[in-house]
Amino acid sequence: MRIYSNGEKHRTIAKEAVFKGIGLHTGNKCHLVFKPAPENSGVVFVRTDLRSRPCLPATYKFVSTVIRGTTLSVNGDKNHEARVHTVEHVLSALSCLGISNLIVEMNANEPPVADGSAMPFIETLLKAGLQEQDNMQNFFQPDPFEYKAGESAYVVEPADDLVIETTIDFNHPLVKNQSRLFHINQETYLKEIASSRTFCFDYEVEALKRQGLARGGSLDNAIVVGMDRIHTKEKSLRYADEFVRHKTLDLIGDLFLLGLPVKAKITASRVGHGHNVNLVRQLAAQMESIQEPALS
């Protein structure tokens, strides 16, 4: 395992960019403002609706819950917990664009869901322009290991780039078993992953709402899988295997929480946010055992 630089520079954005919408689970309206950030500051969410404007760094150390999404938490006003729900789609977009330093101001507790994919965030950030910074970006290449929990399994092997092979398996005739391997780079992500949308099964909807989830969900921003048909605003899937592509999108967003891009082949089966974050914690344990970065 090693930490090294391969000549790519840190990035932020050239100017502010705004995105508005409602949160997938909370249903709260959110005004999201992306702002340039200095080098070595990382990605930080800021709750501007709270008096103390608490900052929530986008790292695994601040993950509090992983129920149907990845949530970050810190102490907020009067020591009450300040949260930002469902950060994975925004972080996946940042990973695609190689943005390592960014301020994300929010006047609510969940980013907009947009259309359920990462593409609207990517388009907004590209309009703002990408700004290279002076310092070179470090990458982490881990030693091989496996993570298993129940029917979920992840195999990590060192590689020269990020390669993700994702497999999902649902006992449903319209989803079934799907598997895709991607060599992750900006071109592949934009063409094959970015537009894939979040999904759920129709029998889950009422249960999710009773749990206080999916309050902002609709056919405008999610795929609903019925017993004999797929329900979407567009009346069709964007890819025949859109479900496994979106699970890959989520995994890439959760991997961003490590703090460094990963150079590895990750073979992931029956993925989910809880397992994704546990994988990140294992990667972090390896990474933090390295005393000095090796530059090459």
Q: What is the mean pLDDT of the chain?
A: 94
Residues 216/236, Cβ–Cβ less than 8 Å: no
The CA distance from 225 to 203, in Å, is 9
Residues 110/24, Cβ–Cβ less than 8 Å: yes
Active site residues: 273
Angle among Cα 20, 10, 30 to the nearest 5 degrees reads 10
C-alpha pair distances (Å), 191 with each of 96, 186, 289:
11, 9, 36
Q: Could you report the per-residue pLDDT of 157-213, keeping only the tens digit for each?
A: 999 999 999 999 998 999 999 999 999 999 999 999 999 999 999 988 888 888 888
What residues contact 209, with CB distance under 8 A and at least 6 apart? Answer: 215
The CA distance from 51 to 47, in Å, is 9
What residues contact 206, with CB distance under 8 A and at least 6 apart? Answer: none
Superfamily of domain 139-288, CATH level 4 = lpxc deacetylase, domain 2 (3.30.1700.10)
Q: Could you report the per-residue pLDDT of 114-157, keeping only the tens digit for each?
A: 999 999 999 999 999 999 999 999 999 999 999 999 999 999 99
Work out the pLDDT band at 296, boundaries 50, 70, 90: very low
Q: Could you report the per-residue pLDDT of 85-102, keeping only the tens digit for each?
A: 999 999 999 999 999 999
Q: For the residues 225-251, what does the mean pLDDT come to?
A: 95
% of the chain beyond a pLDDT of 90? 88
CATH level 3 topology of 2-136: Ribosomal Protein S5; domain 2 (3.30.230)
Residues 252/164, Cβ–Cβ less than 8 Å: yes
Residues 134-172 as b/e (b if ≥16 CB within 10 A, e otherwise) read: eeebbbbbbeebebeeeebbbbbeeeeebbbbbbbeeee
Domain limits, the chain: 2-136, 139-288
